[in-house]
């Protein structure tokens, strides 16, 4: 039985959840621990925290947020943003994270993926990839989409799979913040290139988009941020829409309590 | 006191925090004396079977756990820590598990993505004998991350459907294990841990 996961993503800046379009114009969306609790109650299958400040001064802020979350929320928690070393990952895992996500640090030094997999097991290692459509297929970008990494997406997927990635968080930087839906071609390309679980990210505006990510895109999990933070849709509403579309989903365990 | 065995493998904080959340005094330890003194022992584990066996041997914990198991002390293996209760795994030929349950751990098969990294429902065994699922309704949802699983056998207490029938829990008396992660399975997972603690204290029968 295949059960797609619904994952709210919390972009954390200076200890607060923010939302913004293409990482610009950040608006405050609340306290990460409180939001994490709310999403757990609504039936979120996992949580992703991305530290978008990610300067060394702020690491301790994120560690505290993870610690407080892990004391009350017992679903898988992935934390990323600024993880550059095994030690960075260790401090987050010690605080209660279950997986760490690496993005530009892996682009800069692919060996980091292998080091993390060796130290913590590959199920702990999420490689986040920001992809952008180019003239010859998809390329990898970093720095919020501003900087081309000079890597072809397919090659990069194969490289990180070989190095020890356990899961791929794939964001379309063309769609991110547009609410136009996931880039389904991008998802299809990734899910047919590698066997690893793929989390779809970037562009969700409606609940149908979540369904498409799984049915057409082949994603194993669907991630969204602003539609949930704005309370436009609750997680349980998203899951009801997916169930109505014929997908098997996990209901909120708190229902009826 | 409950000992979560720290043998340098993976993220053990989650298991400790989950036991604390159900009000149990859980220590994360590699100290032999502490483990031998514990009322119950929890063995988590992630990554390759062989690497976990190596880590147990390098830390001298293999024989300590052997003693704990021989005494029939309450014992919970989680994920690869559960697989270690079997004789071996095709993931790491040549590495011996703790061997309290018969059989060899095998790779998941069928037309499904491996690893299974998702929530799935538990199907109770025909005899529905396990106390761990007490009060949890018909087919509770729990979180799995694994590429290998123990064989379905007479110690299997619950299964899940993933490309076929997959062992999700097993137990014989006070020695039990879960292929899924109760510490990451929300309120249902915490209830499973609470049932384990209650049985370990003699407040509930094991089956």
pLDDT of residue B194: 97
Does the active-site annotation cover A130?
A: yes
Q: Is the pLDDT of residue A83 over 80?
A: yes
Q: What percent of chain A has pLDDT over 70?
A: 94
CB contact under 8 A, B117 and A166: yes
- Asked if pLDDT for residue A24 goes beyond 60, the answer is no
Please list the pLDDT of chain B residue by residue as tens digits (207 residues). 999 999 987 677 889 999 999 999 999 999 999 999 999 999 998 888 999 999 999 999 999 999 999 999 999 999 999 999 999 999 999 999 999 999 999 999 989 988 999 999 999 976 566 899 999 988 999 999 999 999 999 999 999 999 999 999 999 999 999 999 999 999 999 999 999 999 999 999 998
DSSP string, A138-192: EEEEETTTTEEEEEEHHHHHHHHHHHT-SEEEEEETTTTTT-S---HHHHHHHHH
What mean pLDDT comes out for the span A138-163? 94
Q: Is residue B35 within 8 Å of residue B69, measured between CB atoms?
A: no
CB contact under 8 Å between B14 and A40, yes or no, is no
For position A143, what pLDDT does the model report? 83
Model confidence at A20, pLDDT cuts 50, 70, 90, reads low
Tokens of A47: 């949580």
| Rounded average pLDDT over A247-253 | 94
Select from B159, B187, B189 the least CA-distant residue to A1.
B159
CB atoms within 10 A of CB B99: 14
ipTM of the prediction: 0.93
Q: Which residues lie closer than 8 Å to A121 by C-beta, 6 or more apart?
A: A166, B9, B10, B46, B47, B48
Q: Which residue has the higher pLDDT, A59 or B94?
A: B94
What span, in angstroms and rounded, lies between the C-alpha atoms of B117 and A65? 25
pLDDT average, residue stretch A67-90:
94
Give A92-107 pLDDT, tens digit per residue.
998 999 999 999 999 9
Query: Taken in order B29, B2, A65, A92, is the CA torsion positive or negative?
Result: positive
Q: DSSP alpha helices (H): ranges in A47-110?
A: 59-72, 86-95, 104-108
Q: Give the CATH number of domain B2-200; options: 3.40.190.170, 3.40.50.880, 3.40.50.10540, 1.10.3720.10.
A: 3.40.50.880
Contact A186, A133 (CB under 8 A): yes
pLDDT tier for residue A180 given thresholds of 50, 70 and 90: very high
* Phi, psi (rounded to 5 degrees) for B169: -150, 150
Query: Quick check: A74 and B187 CB within 8 A?
Result: yes
- Answer whether residue A129 shows pLDDT above 50: yes
pLDDT at residue A257 in the model? 40
Residue A52 structure tokens: 């978008």
Q: How far is A211 from chain B (nearest CA, A)?
A: 17
Say if residue A56's pLDDT is above 80.
Answer: no
pLDDT at position A163: 98
What span, in angstroms and rounded, lies between the C-alpha atoms of A66 and A234? 22
For residue A55, what pLDDT is reported? Answer: 58
> Do A124 and A164 form a contact (C-beta atoms < 8 A)?
no
DSSP class of residue A76 equals -
Q: Give the percent of chain A with pLDDT over 90.
A: 76
B76 within 8 A of B176, measured Cβ to Cβ? yes
* pLDDT score, position A57: 61
Other beta carbons within 10 angstroms of residue A215's beta carbon come to 15
Residue A85 has pLDDT above 90, yes or no: yes
Domains of chain A: 5-244 (3.20.20.70)
How far is the alpha carbon of B141 from chain A, nearest alpha carbon, in Å?
7
Given this model, what pLDDT does residue A231 score? 84
Eight-state DSSP code of residue B23: T
What mean pLDDT is predicted for residues A180-201? 97
Residues of B with CB under 8 A from a CB of A: 9-11, 13-14, 17-18, 21, 46-48, 112-115, 117-121, 141, 143, 145, 160-162, 181, 183-190
The band of A14, judged by pLDDT with boundaries at 50, 70 and 90, is confident
- In chain B, residues with a C-beta closer than 8 Å to the C-beta of A96 are 13-14, 17
Mean pLDDT score of chain A: 92
- Residue A47, CA distances (Å) to A38, B99, B101 in order: 11, 36, 35
Our answer to whether residue A11 is catalytic in this structure is: yes
Decide if A17 touches B, using CB distance below 8 A. Answer: no
């Amino acid at each position: 039985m295949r059960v797609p996961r619904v994952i709210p993503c919390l972009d954390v800046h200076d200890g607060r959840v923010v939302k913004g379009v293409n990482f610009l114009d950040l608006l405050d969306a609340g306290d990460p621990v409180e939001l994490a609790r709310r999403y757990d109650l609504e039936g979120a299958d996992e949580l992703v925290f991305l530290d978008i400040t990610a300067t060394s001064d702020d690491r301790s802020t994120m560690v505290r947020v993870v610690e407080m979350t892990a004391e009350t929320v017992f679903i898988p928690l992935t934390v990323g943003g600024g993880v550059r070393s095994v030690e960075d990952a260790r401090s987050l895992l010690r605080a209660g994270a279950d997986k760490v996500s690496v993005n530009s640090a892996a682009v800069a030094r692919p060996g980091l993926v292998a080091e993390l997999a060796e130290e913590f097991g590959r199920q702990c290692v999420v490689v986040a990839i920001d992809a952008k459509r180019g003239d010859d297929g998809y390329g990898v970008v970093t720095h919020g989409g501003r900087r081309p990494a000079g890597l072809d997406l397919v090659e990069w997927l194969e490289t990180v799979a070989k190095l020890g990635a356990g899961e791929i968080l794939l964001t379309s930087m063309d769609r991110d913040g547009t609410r136009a839906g996931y880039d389904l071609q991008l998802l299809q390309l990734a899910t047919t290139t590698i066997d690893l679980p793929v989390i779809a990210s970037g562009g969700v505006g409606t609940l149908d988009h979540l369904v498409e990510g799984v049915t057409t895109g082949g994603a194993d999990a669907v991630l969204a941020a602003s539609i949930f933070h704005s309370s436009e849709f609750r997680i349980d509403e998203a899951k009801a829409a997916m169930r109505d579309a014929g997908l098997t989903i996990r209901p909120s365990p708190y229902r009826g309590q | 006191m409950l000992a979560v065995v720290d043998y340098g493998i993976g993220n053990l904080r989650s298991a400790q925090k989950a036991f604390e959340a159900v009000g149990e005094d859980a220590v994360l330890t590699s100290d032999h004396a502490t483990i031998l003194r514990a009322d119950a022992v929890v063995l988590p584990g992630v990554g390759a079977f062989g690497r976990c066996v190596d880590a147990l041997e390098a830390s001298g914990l293999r024989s300590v756990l052997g003693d704990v198991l021989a005494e029939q002390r309450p014992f919970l293996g989680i994920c690869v820590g559960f697989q270690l209760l079997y004789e071996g795994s095709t993931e790491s030929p040549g590495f011996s598990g703790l061997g309290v349950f018969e059989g060899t751990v095998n790779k998941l098969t069928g037309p499904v993505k491996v690893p299974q990294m998702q929530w799935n429902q538990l199907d109770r065994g025909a005899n529905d004998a396990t106390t761990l699922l007490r009060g949890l309704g018909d087919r509770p949802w729990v979180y799995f991350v694994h590429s290998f699983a123990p064989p379905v056998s007479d110690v299997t207490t619950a299964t899940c459907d993933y490309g076929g029938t997959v062992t999700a829990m097993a137990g014989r008396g006070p020695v039990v294990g879960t292929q899924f992660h109760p510490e990451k399975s929300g309120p249902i997972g915490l209830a499973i841990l609470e049932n384990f603690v209650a049985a370990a204290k003699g407040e509930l029968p094991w089956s």
